[in-house]
């Protein structure tokens, strides 16, 4: 733990290695009376090269079970790595450019499942550990341990 005094406040910085892939950084701000004001946490994931056991071009055409539950804007509870996710009703209301979409993108040697809430607005991305014919393994998902298996919808 590192302490830093700024005026009448004190900031305490902490680092924690959660597992082999996760570093957690957080800081707490205390006021003059030493009552806790605010705690902020960041989690960093170590990127590992994606293990590819299947054609990436064929893989992009598949659909997978989602790790979150369905909603009005995502009624089918699936991850489709090409095309739009919106139902035709939502597309009529919001327009094609406002429909959500998923993409498989690569940075260095790691692929990511990237979620766009609008045409050019990324909301989140999770690294892919493995690409297989019938499933993928992702990691870095909040509230999930280590790897999450997403099975193909057949």
Number of Cβ atoms within 10 Å of the Cβ of 148: 15
Residue 23, helix vs strand vs coil: strand
Q: How far apart are CA 81 and CA 128, in angstroms?
A: 13
Model pLDDT, residue 117: 80
Query: In this structure, are 62 and 100 located in the same domain?
Result: yes
Query: In this structure, are 132 and 94 located in the same domain?
Result: yes
DSSP, res 75 = T
Number of domains in the chain: 2
Model pLDDT, residue 96: 82
Whether this prediction's pTM lies above 0.75 is answered by no
Query: In this structure, are 78 and 26 located in the same domain?
Result: no
pLDDT tens for 85-116 read 777 787 888 888 878 889 999 999 999 999 98
When computed from its CA atoms, the radius of gyration of the chain, rounded to whole angstroms, is: 20
Query: In this structure, are 116 and 70 located in the same domain?
Result: yes
Query: In this structure, are 115 and 131 located in the same domain?
Result: yes
Query: In this structure, are 38 and 102 located in the same domain?
Result: no
Average pLDDT score over residue span 47-52: 95
């Amino acid at each position: 733990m590192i302490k830093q005094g700024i005026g009448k406040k004190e900031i305490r910085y902490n680092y924690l290695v959660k597992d082999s892939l996760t570093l957690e950084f957080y800081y707490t701000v205390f006021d003059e009376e030493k009552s806790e004001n605010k705690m902020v946490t960041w989690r960093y994931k170590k990127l590992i090269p994606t293990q590819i056991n299947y054609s990436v071009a064929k893989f992009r055409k598949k659909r997978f079970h989602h790790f979150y539950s369905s909603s009005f804007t995502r009624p089918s509870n699936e991850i489709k790595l090409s095309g739009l996710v919106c139902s035709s009703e939502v597309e009529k209301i919001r327009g094609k450019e406002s429909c959500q979409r998923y993409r498989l993108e690569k940075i260095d040697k790691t692929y990511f499942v990237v979620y766009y809430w609008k045409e050019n607005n990324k909301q989140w991305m999770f690294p892919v550990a493995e690409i297989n014919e019938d499933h993928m393994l992702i990691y870095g998902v909040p509230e999930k341990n280590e790897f999450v298996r997403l099975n193909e919808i057949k």
